[in-house]
Amino acid sequence: MYNHVALLPNLEKEGAYTLSLEIIKRLKQRNITPVVPLALHEQLRNQDGVFLFCENLLPYLSLCIVLGGDGSILAASKHTAPWGIPILGFHFGRVGFMAELEKDELHYLDDVLDGKSYTVEERSMLKVTLPHGKEVTALNDVLITNPGHAMLDADVLADGSLLQHYHADGLLFSTPTGSTAHNLAAGGAILDAGLQVISFIPICPHTLYRTPPVVFSSSSVLTVSSPSTRSGKLDVVADGRVAYTLQEGDSVIITGSEQKTRLVRVKHQNVHSLLARKLAESYHKSNLYF
């Protein structure tokens, strides 16, 4: 079933290298070729039977194993989503809602590799159309903001009709997956990960009345029309990385993407219980510093 499996570890995380070696061992025992990034490949000192990760190998991958936090899975999704490659994540981050397994749950990997009970969950993504025909995708969210923290002005349109003019610190568009990230911190609603919707919320709008989040169908076409700011510079940030710097008169179009991020699930946890536990753990860790 598996011929080539990508292993993408965040080697800055304690224990990630050691776990990587054990995973490579288990892959080789099943005659599966591990495909690893350059940083790991160099540490392995050109170990036989380990391929270097590159774009040309993506069509041949049947699974991608990620060791890290949600940020590592977001980065991996840029490579895997266009090819429908499922991701199995091991959690090395702070909170982490996307990784399925903890560091000490390697036995679940054996179940996946041996074809035992597991499911693949599809997560919706955003497609962002930028000036000059450039397109990017996002699994979590898209933020339009001024890097110098100046406020912006913009019209937001939904399917060609004006929603509202905003004067705010930023404009945030999130998937249900991203609803537990920046969206949650900004006061947005937590959305069931299986929904096909886009959540929109302005960041710190300058207004006397409360500006609630708005939830659209993923088929909606949302346009940020000619956003402007005093400094003249606005960034489009997709999943935490600057994707484009807007010039005066530029517009941005956001809608649901045909691409999906596929996440392997083996523990069959209740998603609502998991969410409550993760948020409680995050709150507990935050209060350890006070």
Q: What are phi and psi of 280, to 5 degrees?
A: -65, -40
Q: Which tokens is 15 given?
A: 């224990």
Q: What are phi and psi of 20, to 5 degrees?
A: -60, -45
Rg over alpha carbons for the chain, rounded to the nearest Å, is 20
List the one residue out of 10, 223, 256, 3 whose CA is nearest residue 124: 256
Alpha carbons 288 and 126: distance in angstroms, whole number:
36
Q: Which of 70, 141, 239, 250 is catalytic?
A: 70
Alpha carbons 73 and 263: distance in angstroms, whole number:
10
Q: Where are any strands of DSSP class E within 161-213?
A: 161-168, 170-174, 197-203
Q: Please give the order of strands across the beta sheet that includes 241-246.
A: 214-217, 197-203, 170-174, 141-145, 234-238, 241-246
Active-site annotation holds for 70: yes
Q: What are phi and psi of 189, to 5 degrees?
A: -85, 150
| DSSP conformation letters of 85-144 | --EEEEE-SSS-SS--B-TT-THHHHHHHTT-S-EEEEEEEEEEE-GGG-EEEESSEEEE
Alpha carbons 231 and 100: distance in angstroms, whole number:
42
- The DSSP bridge partners found for residue 264 are 120
Active-site residue numbers? 70
